[in-house]
Amino acid sequence: MRENQWIQVAKEIRCQAPGVGSIKLHKQLSEIFGAEHMIGRDAFIKLLRKKKMVLPAPKPRHTTNSNHRFRKYKNLIKGIQLNRPNQLWVADITYIDTQVGFTYLHIITDAYSRRIMGWKLAETLKAEHTLEALRMAISYAGKNNLTDLIHHSDRGVQYCSTDYVNELKTYDINISMTEDSKPTDNAIAERVNGIIKQELIYRLKLVKDIKELEVKLSSFIEYYNIRRPHMSLGMQAPDKVYLQSGQQNRLWKPRVFKKSKQVIIQP
């Protein structure tokens, strides 16, 4: 009987996040039902396999123009150690396909907590959409909580545009940019993009249009922020880590951006 309840809740979670894996499902169900009422992780994975709910590896599918006249900024994050929310935000734009063509997800993530702070799904790469994502992030954080914040991105024209740079300067946000096109130069942003694609986009049939995709993305990002556990956060969800105050009993190693440009992160 309890086995049926576990499977039902697991299916409900998968409706919101189609690509969430077995280990993270086990963690969430343990929180919902209580660890004392759950079977072990390996037994749970065996149960999922029996119910044909173990996910196959996703097939990858198919960013910004850095050849422009605007000023490009130095990389400020080499050697930085993350120890609090709103210390470093990472920004990126990723492609998502639909039946009527590509859409573009403009996204900003808090590097310490992995919380998605702002996002905008649009049909173009125009800087106005990137700016909307930034304003959403600032609105959520609160303008009084941005002290010594670094905004890190690639050197795409959107992030170097006059309006975007002026918005950052208005709130005294420090501007940092990658020095080349290596994914490791913005690894956390790349990782969040990967989670969205692997756990949602690649698990869906090609969506009809941007409106349908926006609804699904909104639901997934809510799930991601509030419920999705991260191994790099001691199996906590981003919101919980972001909203904690004061010194924490850390269950994970601090993330350090080495001066060799190699970023030490965990998925």
Structural domain boundaries enclosing 160: 88-243
Provide the token pair at 30.
């343990």
Shared-domain flag, residues 130 and 220: yes
The residue count for the chain = 267
The three state secondary structure string of 36-76 is HHCCCHHHHHHHHHHCCCCCCCCCCCCCCCCCCCCCCCCCC
Domain assignment present for residue 191? The answer is: yes
- Whole-number pLDDT of residue 32: 85
- Whole-number pLDDT of residue 43: 86
220, 124 Cβ separation under 8 angstroms: no
Burial class of residue 243 in the structure, from the number of CB atoms within 10 Å of its CB (0-12 exposed, 13-18 middle, 19+ buried): exposed
Domain assignment present for residue 9? The answer is: yes
Shared-domain flag, residues 41 and 146: no
Q: Which amino acid is at 196?
A: I
Shared-domain flag, residues 139 and 12: no
Provide the token pair at 235.
């199996």
Shared-domain flag, residues 118 and 45: no
- Whole-number pLDDT of residue 145: 95
- Whole-number pLDDT of residue 184: 59
Domain assignment present for residue 122? The answer is: yes
Gap between the Cα atoms of 124 and 114, Å rounded? 25
- Whole-number pLDDT of residue 19: 73
Instruction: Provide the number of structural domains found in the chain.
Output: 2
Domain assignment present for residue 128? The answer is: yes
pLDDT mean for each 10 residues of the chain (267 residues): 84 81 84 84 86 72 52 87 95 87 93 97 94 98 96 93 96 92 72 89 83 94 94 92 67 55 40
Whole-model pTM: value is: 0.71
- Whole-number pLDDT of residue 33: 83
- Whole-number pLDDT of residue 49: 87
CA distances from 77 to 80, 90, 242 (A): 5, 10, 20
Provide the token pair at 40.
């072990």
CATH code assigned at 172: 3.30.420.10
DSSP 8-state secondary structure symbol assigned to residue 81:
B
**Ranges of H-type helices in the chain:** 2-16, 22-33, 41-50, 127-141, 157-160, 162-170, 187-199, 210-226, 238-243
